[in-house]
Structure 1
Amino acid sequence: MKRLKRSLTGIVTLVLCLTLALVGCGKADQASKQGQNGDEVLQKIKAEKTLVVGTDATFPPLEFKNDKKEFDGFDIDLMRAIGKELGAEKVEFVDTEFKGLIPGLEAKKFDVVASGMYITDERKKAINFSDTYYPGGLSLLIKKDNQSINSIEDLKGKKIAVQIGTKSVQFLQENYPDIKRVEVEKNVEMFLELKSGRVDAVLTGLPAAKVYAMQDNSVKVLDKTLTNEEYGFGIRKEDSSFTQAVNKALKTLKENGKYQQISKKWFGE
């Protein structure tokens, strides 16, 4: 009888241990899922009060360094406003070459990418994007006194400067392989190539092309954009809760008028 009682006691103890183990596993799984869906990023922001942003600060008016060597631009101001909505008291920017932004994001060097990045199917294979925050499109920039170029068709057999890792490269490869690409590392280098006469045109995003043309009256933007694009903030695929939080913050900024203030500052009416 004593042996039976001991056996029953052992079985009950074993069942209790297994139950506690399963509960523990369940909590661990839940914690793992929270880390996978982006709660990890939100918790980091909550704990450290800091949002870390990857950007290639060579693309005015979206992102660049001003005369004081400070990060400045539309994306910079907008990301600071989003960071405030997320509870971040400080937004840090990590200056990274454009081609290194997605690898850097995946390596967790920063929480998000804000760098005039178009939302594309190819990029979606590696990362997710926020809702679009500004419309763009590829445009051609040429010298103002050049009367022989009125469209991209006139550039066949000629040279166009493009930035490595951008949609411009892919666009020319797929649609105009007979146009010679002059690929450069930095956005500003494209404009220098044009000014020096080493290329016949620059292919870049419309906002950057327009602002550069306003600053330098020796160049002009051709009227017709070549593509219709949308800019988005790059976010890691597993950070779904963080993505939702960024989208909510962006919506709030549009509703309270702050987004419009930032847009007007950089693009006018």
Structure 2
Amino acid sequence: MPQKMMDGGIGGHDLSAFTCDEVAFLLSTFASHDPSMDDTDEEEDGGLIHGRGIYVHVAAPLINLDDDLPSSTSDSEDLAHRPLLKAPSSTLAPRSPPHDDTTSYRCVHSDCTEAIKWPRGLCRNHGGVAKCIVRDCVRGPQTGGACINHGGGRRCKIGGCHRSVQTRGLCKTHGGGVRCGQDGCANSSQGGGFCRRHGGGKRCLAPGCAKGVQRHGYCAVHGQAKACLTVGCRRSNRGKRYCDAHRRQEKDDADDERGQ
């Protein structure tokens, strides 16, 4: 049990009412306090020692913990009104430890040392965002650091398929993603809850044409789309030089090469 402080004082103040632990706290507090930062000098006024955010009541005595605990209600109420020691939260609360940044990548902007979590480019303050780890690729990264086109993210769970997952662990080809709302149709939804065949997706802007849009708001016929580059194929170029069928085939071949 803490013992009561013997007769003595600090700066003319009687501290005999405090326990040893309480006096030790006061000494450590005032020892670490910089008087030059105070707006006014310390002074005694009505039993309070004034300092920068620190006050200690020295007038009313505290109980001696070696004595018996109070047995009556009046004694308990008297103890409840005894003065308490108080210190500012800045003295008691520990400071947050400094951030230990082990990231080895830095922003490439001139005179900027901001750490970035991606291996190249700018920090967010200079307009940078995370990018695919493949050089010159500006797509956003997925799991593994690469974009979906370069093998990032989860792959379809069907054996031998390297396409990216849409839903339920499957790619669109194997049933992943939103399906067409037409009864009996298993095609993927292109927009509006239906596949292109059943009215999903955008329609051609040419008057009276209900075909799906290929590019620039028009179907292949009205948009003068280029032909697929595959020899013997008469389908229209859907982007990246090939029709849908040969574009998927080219992508699958590339995925197979990466998976080997």
State if a TM-score over 0.5 links the two structures. no
TM-score range, shorter chain: under 0.3
Q: Higher relative CO (CA 8 A, sep ≥ 6), structure 1 or 2?
A: 1
Q: Which has the higher helix share?
A: 1
TM-score w.r.t. length of structure 2 = 0.22
Larger radius of gyration: 2
TM-score w.r.t. length of structure 1 = 0.22
Q: Which has the higher strand share?
A: 1
